[in-house]
Structure 1
Amino acid sequence: MALNRQLWIAIASVMVIAFVSSLAISFQSARAYFEEQLHLKNIDNANTLALTLSQVEKDPVLIELMIAAQFDTGHYQRLELLDPSGEPIASRTRATDAVGDVPGWFAELAELRVDPGIAQVPDGWQQYGTLYVESLSGFALEALWDTTVELFLWFFGIAAVLGLLGSMVLKSLTRPLDDVVDQAESIGNQRFIATPEPRTLEFRRVVRSMNILSARVRDMLGEERSRLEEMRQRLQRDALTGVGNRGRFDDVLGALLADDDPNRQHGLFLVRLVDLAEINRQLGHQKTDALIKELATRLGTVAGEHRDSFSDDHLARLNGSDFALILTDLLDAKPLAERLTEAMQELAARHAEATSLQLALSAGRFGPGDERSSILIRLDDALARAEHRETTCLEWATQGEDVDRLHGSDEWRAILHDAIEQQRIHAAHFATRRIDGRLIHREAMLRLEDARQTLTAGQFLPWARRLGLLPQLDLAVAESELERLARTPDPDGEPIALNLSIDTLLDESTRGRLLGLLASHTARAAMVSIELAERAAIDHPAAFREFCAVAVPLGYRVGIEKAGLAVTEIDVLHELGLSYLKLDRSLTTDLAASESNRSYLRGITGMAHAIGLTVIADGVRSAEELTQLGELGVDGASGPGVPE
């Protein structure tokens, strides 16, 4: 029961007890007073009337008239004159004692017991008779009833005022309790906040204890995150430059080659600092290290300048002098290759006075199903040709490295616009299940109905990204899926997961429309998961947090997909109200041969479970792999190895 309701009950109980006690005391006092006053009135009236009767002629008719006159002019219940033998000489009585609006139950409860006034009427030296006078008590009952009603109204009014004042004071006093409740719920939702300590001593102790608990859990998670970050740097990062190492490159390449969508195309660039030993001899160890760091920074900068041309970038240092840059879903490699070559030539010119720099570059494309060895052989051959030219330049790995696309830019723009307007964008659903086989949700993957065929996401998403149409595609699919759920009569239907692009998160207009759409479909919110890439939380934390702050309270489950080595960089991961992490395929590829990935995966699952997150592996290809992931603490999986 609410504390405020208990306060009202307590006040009401106290006031009822006080009212009953006061009523009993005042009632008894008032009744005794009225009885005494009525008895005195009866005696006085009896003596006065007896004196009057003793002075008149004792004519029975005259006596009768005087008794009748007195009865009619006063408030009497009974006037009766009896002779010495007890026979009535004159008598007047009323059948009832009128009590006005006094309830019968109160009249019975407050019945007044008043003795009659008795006086002797003499006739000379002899007794003529005895006079009995009883006054009406109804007026006294009415006065007693009015007093009781007035007392009740005063008590009721005082109780109401005390209750209102008490509620206001109680609300002020218990506000810290509301903060503690919010804090406890936040801890339950894996958000660890601190609450200001109130002035009330008892509440201050409670709030202080909760703050200590929240801080300890937050520190524990921070230590776990730091440990994972240290493990990541040691196992998957190059110690000098901070980019990925050879193991990370192999994981990413293997994951992309094992992708389920055969239409995806990616770009791969190799960069070699030629004759590193001679450069180290000329510049010295420290300056050579600075040069290598600058090279890695420039490669990352060039990738960032062409962010709209691909979905993700992965930079790795393969050995002392070689770097690899993988760009997923790369639409057109030529502009980026030209800018990369230009940047490397600028770097060589910048250090021309100190040493003669040659940077050899090679570029090529690959997709799912290609052989790892053949890809690297082609890139290495092209790199050797570039190195042989003895100048900073780039060689393509194949003659026709840019696979001809289905359409040109203008045609793609028309196709995508028509598909959005004519609602030819839909979703194919693929199961994500727990290790024990229970369904978590079905992931909605974009499909486009073209005139000739159904296009997969790998075919049109790169063009949609370049043309700035990704937000419209996301909105169209979200609207279609939410309306489909709304039409589904089964309240326990299959949950779905919607993938949102970073472009949608950053487009304020589309994000606002999407949040409005989510707000209008809250009846099925528990059946909808919304996924955003890890890079969205890393590169755009403010927009990501704002989205979570709206979507999570509406009841939607928000998760991070492609979660990998950067997940430990999300400082407020425990405060976002997330529901799950969907691990990047590169973390779960060839686990049997990678102890570093197994160790890191155990760390991620432990940290995620500590803050209540479900861990899902993406791209699982076999039942054996699924079993191994379960042993490492992963909760669920998606991919070809997961039954539909």
Structure 2
Amino acid sequence: MKRVSLIQQLWFLVVAAVVLAAAGSLAANLYNARDYLEQQLAAQSADAANSLALLITQNQADKAMGETLINAAFDQGHFRRITWLDPEGKPKIQRINAAQFGGAPDWFRQVLPLSSTPARAMISSGWMQAGLIEVESEAGYAYASLWQGALTVSFWVLMAGIVVGLIGSLGVNTIRRQLLAVVDQAKAITQRRFVTIPEPEGPEMGRLAQAMNAMVTRVKLMFEEEAARLEEMRQQINFDKVTALANRDYFMGRLGATLGEPDVAQEMLVLIRIGGLAELNAQLGRPLTDEMLAQFGQALRNPRRFGDDSIAARLNGADFTLLALQSHVDADKISTLHDELAAQLSSFAGQPVLLAMAATDLRQGDSVRDVMSRLDAALALAEVNGGRRVEVATSNVSKQPALTAERWGGLLDQAVAERGFKLVRFAVRNAQGGMLHEEAPLRLRQGEEWLPAGQFLPMAIRTRRVAGLDLAAVAMALQQLADDPGCAGLGVNLAAESLDDDSFITQLAALIRGQRQAAGRLWMEMAEAGVMPRFERFRALCLALEDLPCKIGIEHFGRQFSLIGQLHDLGIDYLKVDGSFVQQIEQHSGNQSFLKGVCNIGHNIGLGVIAEGVKTEAEASMLFSLGFDAVTGPGVK
């Protein structure tokens, strides 16, 4: 049985009230008019009877004169019957109008019958009674008048009903808008979007909206306070107080997580050592040395220069490091950075300062030990050479031949046209060991090889083809889900740069809407670093997908933790916490407290929390005890 909505009930009440008021007004008017006309008919009959009786009496009850008077009165047409009864009650003279006067339909006469009671008057002849005059008025004229009045009253009642209905419609529509605003707010809360609405002017709806807004405001305030507390904890645990750079533990966790990802991006790692820092500290004093190091750290901590996903760290007193995409820190840019940093240090010291720098690229299959060994050897060579140039450590892994942007564009277009891609799968498991879903990064076919995304995605972004690749990956995942109903779900990594394409959101929503059943097992995620500078576009993506059954989340969460304060109105489904916090978590009590807080704040707004970069069972066990819903990484099979 279909339920009647509140708005429909209000409409029913308005219509019923208008109809009942109109019907009541019309009925009252017609019945009053009928009573009045019946009184007029009775008065007319009485007046005519008395007049005829008096005239006939004055003429000594002469039959001929009486007949003349009766005919004269009857011919006026206002009487249905005029009868002169003798003293015995027998008709002496009688005139009857058998024809029924028109002007009103028969059904109207039956609904509102007019009672025309005959009137009698006595006729005398001298002192003797000569009989009675009985007069019955013709009701046809009264019916015609009543019918015309009914039509007129009905018209004006209808006009009044329309006006009242329009006013009621405005009122109902106002209530409807106010109710829908509150309903949309409640719906947004269920979708993990805590938004406020303007308070209506009416006291009842105003109080309801005020209460809802107060609840949302309290949730936001609680959320922001907890986010601020966690951010402060994160800074204390994972960052150096003097330089505000990441500390050694956090950076090594980040490096390990990066190398453990299925697709190692084309990144460059730079190791920097300030020569004679202890002597500088003794010469300048601690306050000035701290100021020098703070400015040194600020120069390395520059996302506009080194990319949003770059990270700089202080490994120990004099050693610093920078990890960024090769497009932001190639050999020429590293050399320029070396000269700038050396000049900055020399300006504080008042003399040249030895600044040794070494760099190496990250390659698929590298371990942390491999990378740091190459860097240490190169840094030692840079120190021997007096820090005059940056030493670049070579990798043992052979590099692919460089391709021009035009050549890459052709390869990507061909792959999209010929479906030269595939999705590889990696498990995401819950605490019971069940499959939550499978991560499905994209691979590009080049000859006999399948290239990981880290090798072709930068050129796809550069040549503005990344949106097409993401749409192809989603289409492929939806098709695989439709073909394999037993698959728990597939997680597709979307590049945040796709949001720069104005048509991407519309095309993505249309693609998912076309495979709605399979989309219930589709998980899509974007990296936190890419979402931050495109936050409003990411919000638009979440709103476009809110009525679709797919899930959307943020991966590598925590690298730029300030984003957590803005999660309350996005409507996302889950977070994938960056592996930087996960490495050897069972030995790191500080990060345990931090991650437990992240789980609490995520669960409080209905988000699932997943850990990425998990390498060991000990890490997974600890993460589940902290409240994580699932884990993924090299150690999860």
Q: Which bracket does the TM-score occupy, shorter chain normalised?
A: 0.7 to 0.9
| The one of 582, 606, 613 aligned to 1:588 | 582
| The one of 36, 43, 53 aligned to 1:33 | 36
> Do the aligned residues in 2 keep the contact of 1:116 with 1:133 (CA within 8 Å)?
yes
Opposite residue 297 of structure 1, the aligned amino acid is Q
Q: Deviations over 1:42-97 (max 9, x none)?
A: 2333344556667599779x988986786565243333343333333444445675
Opposite residue 531 of structure 1, the aligned amino acid is E
> Do the aligned residues in 1 keep the contact of 2:575 with 2:609 (CA within 8 Å)?
yes
- Aligned twin of 1:241: 243
- Aligned twin of 2:216: 214
| The one of 219, 223, 226 aligned to 1:224 | 226
Percent identity over the alignment is 35
Q: Distance between the aligned counterparts of 1:517 and 1:165, measured in 2?
A: 44
> Do the aligned residues in 1 keep the contact of 2:269 with 2:359 (CA within 8 Å)?
yes
Does the alignment pair 1:315 with 2:312? yes
Opposite residue 576 of structure 2, the aligned amino acid is K
Opposite residue 511 of structure 1, the aligned amino acid is D
| The one of 322, 325, 335 aligned to 1:325 | 322
Provide closer, same or farther for how the CA distance between residues 403 and 338 of structure 1 changes in structure 2, counting only shifts above 3 A: farther
> Do the aligned residues in 2 keep the contact of 1:77 with 1:97 (CA within 8 Å)?
no
> Do the aligned residues in 2 keep the contact of 1:270 with 1:362 (CA within 8 Å)?
yes
Q: Deviations over 1:553-584 (max 9, x none)?
A: 67764321111242234542212222221122
Provide closer, same or farther for how the CA distance between residues 197 and 122 of structure 1 changes in structure 2, counting only shifts above 3 A: closer
Q: How many correspondences in the alignment?
A: 627
Provide closer, same or farther for how the CA distance between residues 279 and 521 of structure 1 changes in structure 2, counting only shifts above 3 A: same
Q: Distance between the aligned counterparts of 1:590 and 1:567, measured in 2?
A: 20
TM-score by length of 2: 0.83
> Do the aligned residues in 1 keep the contact of 2:466 with 2:497 (CA within 8 Å)?
yes
> Do the aligned residues in 1 keep the contact of 2:193 with 2:571 (CA within 8 Å)?
yes
Does the alignment pair 1:364 with 2:364? no
Q: Distance between the aligned counterparts of 2:623 and 2:523, measured in 1?
A: 22
Does the alignment pair 1:597 with 2:554? no
> Do the aligned residues in 2 keep the contact of 1:283 with 1:354 (CA within 8 Å)?
no
Stretch moving more, 530-539 or 448-457: 448-457
> Do the aligned residues in 2 keep the contact of 1:107 with 1:141 (CA within 8 Å)?
yes
Q: Distance between the aligned counterparts of 2:182 and 2:275, measured in 1?
A: 63
> What are the residue-to-residue correspondences of 1:137-148 with 2, within 5 Å?
137-148=139-150
Once the 2 structures are TM-superposed, how far is the Cα of residue 627 of structure 1 from its aligned partner? 4.4
Opposite residue 82 of structure 2, the aligned amino acid is L
Opposite residue 317 of structure 1, the aligned amino acid is R
TM-score by length of 1: 0.83
| The one of 439, 454, 466 aligned to 2:450 | 454
Once the 2 structures are TM-superposed, how far is the Cα of residue 190 of structure 1 from its aligned partner? 4.0
Name the SS of the counterpart of 2:599 in structure 1: helix
- Aligned twin of 1:375: 371
- Aligned twin of 1:297: 298
> Do the aligned residues in 2 keep the contact of 1:306 with 1:336 (CA within 8 Å)?
no
Opposite residue 114 of structure 1, the aligned amino acid is S
Does the alignment pair 1:101 with 2:104? yes
> Do the aligned residues in 2 keep the contact of 1:500 with 1:530 (CA within 8 Å)?
yes
> Do the aligned residues in 2 keep the contact of 1:341 with 1:392 (CA within 8 Å)?
no
Q: Distance between the aligned counterparts of 2:616 and 2:340, measured in 1?
A: 48
Provide closer, same or farther for how the CA distance between residues 70 and 455 of structure 1 changes in structure 2, counting only shifts above 3 A: same
Opposite residue 276 of structure 1, the aligned amino acid is L
Q: Distance between the aligned counterparts of 2:465 and 2:150, measured in 1?
A: 80
- Aligned twin of 2:416: 420
Q: Distance between the aligned counterparts of 1:609 and 1:637, measured in 2?
A: 16
Does the alignment pair 1:511 with 2:514? no
Once the 2 structures are TM-superposed, how far is the Cα of residue 158 of structure 1 from its aligned partner? 2.0
> Do the aligned residues in 1 keep the contact of 2:261 with 2:633 (CA within 8 Å)?
no
Q: Distance between the aligned counterparts of 2:37 and 2:92, measured in 1?
A: 30
Q: Distance between the aligned counterparts of 1:170 and 1:566, measured in 2?
A: 48
Q: Distance between the aligned counterparts of 1:116 and 1:212, measured in 2?
A: 77
Name the SS of the counterpart of 2:360 in structure 1: strand
Name the SS of the counterpart of 1:454 in structure 2: strand
Opposite residue 509 of structure 2, the aligned amino acid is L
Q: Note the residue ranges of structure 2 that are not aligned, 5 or more in a row.
A: none
Q: Deviations over 1:333-365 (max 9, x none)?
A: 9x7234323322343245446133112222334
Does the alignment pair 1:389 with 2:380? no
- Aligned twin of 1:154: 156
> Do the aligned residues in 2 keep the contact of 1:121 with 1:127 (CA within 8 Å)?
yes
- Aligned twin of 2:117: 115
> Do the aligned residues in 2 keep the contact of 1:602 with 1:632 (CA within 8 Å)?
yes
- Aligned twin of 1:251: 253
Q: Distance between the aligned counterparts of 2:618 and 2:80, measured in 1?
A: 107
Name the SS of the counterpart of 1:572 in structure 2: helix
Name the SS of the counterpart of 1:581 in structure 2: strand
Provide closer, same or farther for how the CA distance between residues 116 and 601 of structure 1 changes in structure 2, counting only shifts above 3 A: same
Opposite residue 140 of structure 1, the aligned amino acid is A
| The one of 566, 576, 581 aligned to 2:570 | 576
| The one of 78, 86, 91 aligned to 2:89 | 86
- Aligned twin of 1:502: 496
Q: Note the residue ranges of structure 1 that are not aligned, 5 or more in a row.
A: none
How well do the aligned residues superpose, as a CA RMSD in angstroms?
Answer: 4.0
Q: Distance between the aligned counterparts of 2:122 and 2:202, measured in 1?
A: 77
